[in-house]
Chains A and B, each alone.
Chain A
Amino acid sequence: MTFNPEQTLKFSPLHRLQWEEAQQKYVILYPEGMVELNQSSAEILKRCDGTRNLPQLVSELEQQFATTGLTNDITAFLEVAIQNGWINPN
């Protein structure tokens, strides 16, 4: 699945992204299910609030983690996230 990098990305209202103290990680909750997230996935999803598009996400995350070349990894994860219905491109 491909998406237009100009589109802003928003976390799905039919899912919930939440920090789990007991597990010390972010999880996605949905009807009768849960996905445990690693730190980088959680950092991407937390920023999908409907105001940022792909280039903005990449630049913000590269800055935060003082690195470069994240475009491919972030794009690949977002494609999975869209396919699973976790985020919606607007």
Chain B
Amino acid sequence: MAGSTQTKPTPPRWLLAELSYACPLQCPYCANPIDYAKYPTELSTEDWKRVLSQARKMGAVQLGFSGGEPLTRQDLTELVKHARDLGYYSNLITSGYGLTEDKIIQLKEAGLDHIQVSIQASTQELNDHIAGTASFEHKKEVARLVKKHGYPMVLCVVIHRENIHQMPEILAMAEDLGADYLELANTQYYGWAHANRDLLLPTKAQFEQAEAIAQAFKEKVAGKMKIYYVVPDFYEDRPKACMNGWGTTFLTIAPDGVALPCHSARELPGLDCPNVKDFSVEEIWNESKAFNFFRGVEWMKEPCRSCDEKDKDFGGCHCQAYLLTGDMYNADPVCGKSPDHGLIQQAIDSAAACALSADEKPLVFRNSKNSKLLS
């Protein structure tokens, strides 16, 4: 293994349960792997219950039910109830598509703590185009019902070049819907977003204008609505401390049971990510090659190895290093100290050229057909 630790790792605190890769939406920035259609099998109810119990015993407390669309699982309410009995704080991360008032009530009674509804834009036309499915009015109705039934309501909007100009309207929509939290997530360029980067990456001027609007709004609604703002790291000079450090906090379980140190790690070569059908969560977290791979600092190359900020950002994101430089041991090229930092500017220039080009290529939507074509 590339990295190893002598001391016992800190236990997981966050468990992301990707229940299914099935999704009625086709968002072209989906964080699922491009080749998700290769992994159609899903864990059984009993497998998930065992995983939840094992991770909780180690100390995981925040639980995200995600996907794909987690509502496609018929046993969602049963899993929510099991999670509540174990003491998890359960977050349902959903498109809202197909969510009825009866289901919202049923999930509340089972012990679900919070529902995060994604909306793709502030207008029906753009929302439905990006989602690849007519869903705008239903999503807004779901957001109102979530609020009505006493959940903290979190609205999540992924920001990219197609909707960044709508920032003022997106904020007004969040206020109108009574969101308790608004997550403004600038697109992170992995998975499908990486494939569509030329079409999604905004210019620096667009990003700065949108950020200034969001910042002013944040001050205006302080005390009423909390804003989670995910920065677009392509316009930063230092990388993010990805996953709060590899194998320190976050555990993702993919629909087929593969355990991942981050939800994009499936894209990295040679990790041999273990499956919860073969090992306990404790064995996976403490002993597996994959979870020890980038723990500590021994795996680092220059410029990270001698960097005085290495304990702050851990070299940044390995998936980004791999996708952009072809070597996951490299420093995240977002870092100004990386010899590959020029690749970021190249990506920005390429996206800008694409925006100006007369024959703009179409977005590749996230669906099984495209997944099979691209993998």
| Chain B contact residue count (CB 8 A cutoff) | 22
The reply on B87 being an interface residue by CB < 8 A is: yes
Where chain B touches its partner, the secondary structure class is mixed
Contact: A16 with B62, CB < 8 Å? no
A66 CB–B CB distance under 8 Å: no
For the complex, is A18 an interface residue (Cβ under 8 Å from B)?
A: yes
Say whether, besides A22-B58, A22-B59, A31 and B181 are in contact (CB < 8 Å): yes
Q: Which residues of A contact B59 (CB under 8 A)?
A: 20, 22-23
Query: Given A13-B150, A16-B113, A22-B11, is A29 in contact with B180 using a C-beta cutoff of 8 Å?
Result: no
**0/1 string, A10-26, CB within 8 A of B gives 1:** 00011010101011000
Partner of A27, one of B61, B91, B116, B226: B61
A20 to B59, CA, bound (A): 8
Per the 8 Å Cβ criterion, residues 242-283 of B in contact with A are none
B112 CB to nearest A CB, Å: 11
Distance in angstroms between the alpha carbons of A16 and B89 in the assembled complex? 8
The answer, yes or no, to whether B82 is at the interface (CB within 8 Å) is no
- The smallest C-beta distance from B262 to any residue of chain A, in angstroms, reads 16
A22 to chain B, nearest CB (A): 3
Q: Are B154 and A31 in contact (CB under 8 A)?
A: yes
Asked if A30 is at the interface (CB within 8 A of a chain B CB), the reply is yes
A34 touches B (CB below 8 Å): yes
Contact of A83 (CB < 8 Å), options: B61, B64, B113, B223: B223
CA distance A23 to B113 in the complex (A): 21
Q: Does B303 contact A (CB under 8 A)?
A: no
Within the assembled complex, what's the spacing in Å between the Cα atoms of A22 and B58?
7
Enumerate B43-82 residues with CB–CB distance to A below 8 Å: 57-59, 61-62, 64
- Complex CA distance for A22 and B8, rounded to whole angstroms: 15
User: Which residues from 92 to 120 on chain B have a C-beta closer than 8 Å to any C-beta of chain A?
Assistant: 113-114, 116
User: Which 4 pairs, one residue from A and one from B, show the smallest C-beta to C-beta distance?
Assistant: A22-B59, A29-B89, A14-B152, A31-B114
Please, could you name 20 A-B residue pairs with CB atoms under 8 Å apart, sorted by A?
A: A14-B152, A18-B61, A22-B11, A22-B57, A22-B59, A22-B61, A23-B59, A27-B61, A29-B61, A30-B152, A31-B113, A31-B116, A31-B152, A31-B154, A31-B180, A31-B181, A32-B91, A32-B116, A32-B154, A32-B228
